Each structure stands twice: as C-alpha cells, then as structure tokens.
Amino acid sequence: MDKVALVLGATGGIGSEVARVLLARGWQVKALHRAPERVAKSGDGLQWLSGDAMEHNDVLAAAQGVQLIVHAVNPPGYRNWGQLVLPMLENTMAAARATGARILLPGTVYNYGPDAFLHITEDAPQRPLTRKGAIRVEMERRLRASGLPVLIVRAGDFFGPDAGNNWFAQGLVKPGKPVTAISNPASPGVGHQWAYLPDVAETMVRLLELGEALPPVAVYQMEGHWDGDGMQMAAAIARAAGQPQLKAGAFPWWLVTLAAPFVTVFRELREMRYLWRQPVRMSNVRLRKALGTEPHTPLDVAVRRTLQGQGCLPADESAHAAAQVNASPAMPTKPSAPATAANGAMRAGQ
C-alpha cells in the first residue's frame, strides 16, 4: 500500500527535514505552498501543490489520499501568531478527519511553566506563563480532544544545515559569513537543550514506523544535546570554525528590552527569555523505551554541518559524506546587529 504524506511547512526547517526522511523511507510526499513555482527545486522529489494552510478547502484538497499530515507550518517572525496558529491547526484537523490521517506535530518546551522545571516528562503539568506557551497548550488540548490519531514530538532549540529561523542561525552566528564572533543568549552557568534537526526528523519517522504499536495520541520528548553550563554550543562553534580560543560574547538583551514596546519580534523574544535564564530540560525516557535509543549526531559533527549549511564554513564533501552515519545511539546523557537575532530566534514548531 502506498504511503502518502502531506507536509504543511515544507520550506521550513523541520518540515523540509521530515519531508526528506519520509522520501528516503519510500513515502510519497505532497507539499502545500502559496507559490510552489517559487520554492520547488528540481529533483527534490516533492509533489508541490498550490494552496494556503489558512484555507480550509486548500488543505482538504491537498490531503486527499494521505495517511499522514505533518503540521509544521507557522507564521514567520511571530507575525499574527495568536490569530493564525489555531485556525491553521483546525484546517489540518478537518483534513485529518476527512482522510483518517495521523497528524504529526513538532512540539516545544513553551508548554511548560516554572512548576515543571527542572526535569520535565511528557505528562508534566502544562501551566505556562507566556502567551505563546498558552497557545501551544491549546493546540495540544485540541488535538487530544479531537479523537484523531496524533504524534507530538517535543524537542529543544532547533539547529541544522537548512534551518534559518532559530537561535543558532539568528543569534549565535551570522549566516553567510565566516565565524568571527559568537553571541550567547544564556545566562552564565545555565544549561540549555538543543535539537539537531536531522535527528529530530529521523526520530519522528522512526516513531511513525512503529505503526499500530504507536498509541492513538502519542507524545514523546527528545534529549537532543544538553548543554549543561550553557557554554558547550559556543565552544563547539569555535572548534568547528578552527578558532578554539574564540570566546562567546553576551547577547544584547538590554536592547531587546528597549525595543520590545515598538517591535513585535523583540517583544516575543523578551517573553521567551526565561528559557535562557534557568535550565529547562525535557526527559527522553519514554522515547528510549519506544525506540531503544534516540538518533543522535555527535555535537561537533552536527555543528560543523550546520555551519556549512549556513554558509559560515566551506562545504566539505568528504566530511559531509562521513556525517551520513550519524544516526548513532544517544549518548548518556558579540552578535552582529540585534535585528539579525530578531529575524528568527524561533523554536520548533513555531
């Protein structure tokens, strides 16, 4: 029987990675976009369809014949987030009801408030203190109440070769230029959880491949890369750039605070600052019980591939080829203009 998936958000970091892994596993993959002629790439293997995730009929038509809908679409740059996110999810749920498809949702740590820190399980109470967190909780509540088959995979801050809207690419380094400075948003000594996008996509597809063994409403969390003191990611960037002596400077939170009343993105960034001021770590015990292990690319390999993809390092074909064997078992586990950080600085599924 043919395996057919619809990916909403196929041009984004997680959407494109999941589409790539699905194709490699023999799925047919549809991708919905308002201007497919502008984003389709020769030989990408995707069936591009013209449509808008905000339009009920567009999503319903695109979902005909699919067994999976990947809901990885989100408004860019936090624009109109509160007004658009839930209507888009409702369209996805309506299409899933009509087709019997399972919904795959990339989850975030936004759902949790301080009462769930430091060690967070999938069943921890969801009492966020932020507006974005409340929206994420409502998304999951609607999915759970829908009676539809759902897979939610929560992970830390995304980074990867093709991921642009995240802290790594928009805050720590400057894409398209050699690494001469590193910015660190974390408070000194505060741990932070990162997720390498190819590992996230591989994890999602391995879970889907459990088939009937997967619960109707399945929720899992990834360990990813735990940066225990908040300095390991910056150190890995320096090593990959061949400048191990390069020290990270502080992110200009003061400027974000000053600009927040006037700039939407800065306001959203300030709201999520708490994630950099205290350690927030999700447990992957349930995931390891389901899969036996978590797909895990070594940090230095993941960072080098990410910097190459971001144009900060020249492509190294031999290193890239060697990096294809990265689905190994999980291990035990001064910025440029501030506007650059504001252009993205987004987490999974935002």
Q: What is the pLDDT of residues 89-116, one digit of tens each?
A: 999 999 999 999 999 999 999 999 888 8
Alpha-carbon span 223 to 208, nearest angstrom = 18
3-state secondary structure of 282: strand
Alpha-carbon span 147 to 36, nearest angstrom = 32
Backbone angles phi, psi at 275, to 5 degrees: -70, -15
Q: Which amino acid is at 159?
A: F
Alpha-carbon span 200 to 154, nearest angstrom = 9
292: which 2 tokens?
């036996």
Residue 77 pLDDT grade (very low, low, confident, very high; cuts 50, 70, 90) = low
Q: Which amino acid is at 80?
A: N
- Please list the residues that pair with 227 across neighbouring strands: 192
Q: Name the pairing type of β-strands 47-50 and 28-33.
A: parallel
Buried b (16+ CB within 10 A) or exposed e, 175-195: beeebeebbbbbeeebbbbbb
Helix %, strand %, coil % for the chain, to 5? 40, 15, 40
User: Contact, 53 vs 75, CB < 8 A?
Assistant: no
Quick check: 345 pLDDT over 50? no
Q: What is the pLDDT of residues 283-337, one digit of tens each?
A: 999 999 999 999 999 999 999 999 999 999 998 744 443 444 444 444 333 333 3
Quick check: 140 pLDDT over 90? yes
Average confidence (pLDDT) over 246-259: 88
Alpha-carbon span 40 to 153, nearest angstrom = 27
- CB proximity list for 27: less than 8 A, separation 6 or greater: 3, 4, 5, 68
Predicted TM-score of the model (pTM): 0.88
